[in-house]
Structure 1
Amino acid sequence: MKTTLSLSFLLILILCFNFPSLSFEKNDSTETNGSILKTKPIAFQLAIGSLLHVTNFDNLHISVKKQFTNSFGLRLGLGINLSQEDLGGNDLTFSQNDLSVNDYANYVTTVVDMIYYVRPNDIVKAFIGLGPYFSYSESSTKRTRNNSNYQNNYYDYSRSISLGANALLGIEWFATSNFSFFAEYNFAYTYSWQKYIHQYTDSGYSESYDLDGNETQFKGKELKFGITVYL
């Protein structure tokens, strides 16, 4: 069973328990569009980076934000993407029942962003951010087929460690004085150290190689949607 299901369930639980506990009184417009970012300086954020894929909610982001003024804040964020799939026997179709499947993909990011609200008094507040970026990713694909007539083994493994800078731009709308919705898009410039292993055997044939390398990238990372709870 995929780990992604448990992460989706965890997200639903968090939303269900937080919504009733929030005070949903109507906002005073002066507070919402004036000093709310300063009067409630500590915030917790929960976001999903795969919302457009309705069957995959594994890209989860958790952050804590400290607001120093109406315009400036500091945010520490952790991104998690964990998935695993094990199939064999009755899990596969009749034509595949001699095939064993084992896949996993793990991805963790840590970002510290300086957040700047361009116009903090607007109803919909635009913000930008910049800060250091770190990520670790690891994935594996394994296929094994065994029957009386045919044997086949396939294995791929990759690992990447990245350091760099993260930039973002987004918008935030306050539903109440302590609860908001936000959307943001992230960019990253990174230097990565990578490792790749490939092994393949098919009856009397076999191949194997182990590669190491590095790469510099600048690319858009993802569009995230989330909620913020201000304390």
Structure 2
Amino acid sequence: MVEAAARAGRPLEFVLYWGKGPRSEIAAPDLACLDYLGQLAERVRQAYAPGAIFRLIFTDTHASLNGHPAEVVDAYFGAIDAAAQARGFASARLSDVVAFAREIGADAPEEEPTGEVLASLMACAAKWYRGEGSTAQGALDYHRMNMVEKRAVAAAFPEAVFVTFNGSEFRDLFPATMPIFYMYSLRRGVGVKPWFMDAGFAAAKLADAETPEAKSSEAKSPEAKSLEAKSLESASSDASSPAGQPVS
């Protein structure tokens, strides 16, 4: 896909999910993440003249499943969209992408989750699910939605690279036919999704990046790095772990 874009002289296309967490308003973590994506886009442009197109896919379907009021979801995604457009990014709603896929017959056959994936999704649901029914049912519904959505995204953006802040343990939930680019969310070493961060946590982590101690972190012992990682998980209310941080 990248080679085809280069041969045609087209910008490289990247798509990524942007979810809805506890916050109802845009905040510093969101802006920091958008700026970080902007830095990546600039690095691509410096190396490849046609540049890159980044498209945020707002996961309104997941927000609805998790019990977030529609008006709150619309307001939050609207604010993120405005900030994204100011940085030259495009956007789409996941519900619209799925509707397009159904129009062209790209619906998904039923797929059962593996035990490991289901266990992770149930742990996520126990923390974040606020919809109707049990958390176990919420996890199963979430998996079924993702099976449809990953095919919808692949059908709508067949020449794009799929970007995620998740780890490869969730690979089954991502589009099977698209290259996957795993990246940090705010800076190197931070994988917590911005919509799960409070403003104070993000500010502290970004400030840490400017200190001499942070810049010399490569020289720290494995024990010190392990302690810092545990502190990071605690500060982010377990959102940095697969069990605490859903796919979107």
Q: TM-score surpassing 0.5?
A: no
- Which has the higher relative contact order, 1 or 2, with Cα contacts under 8 A spaced 6 or more apart? 2
Higher helix share: 2
Higher strand share: 1
Higher Cα radius of gyration: 1
TM class by shorter-chain length? under 0.3
- Taking structure 1 as the reference length, the TM-score comes to 0.22
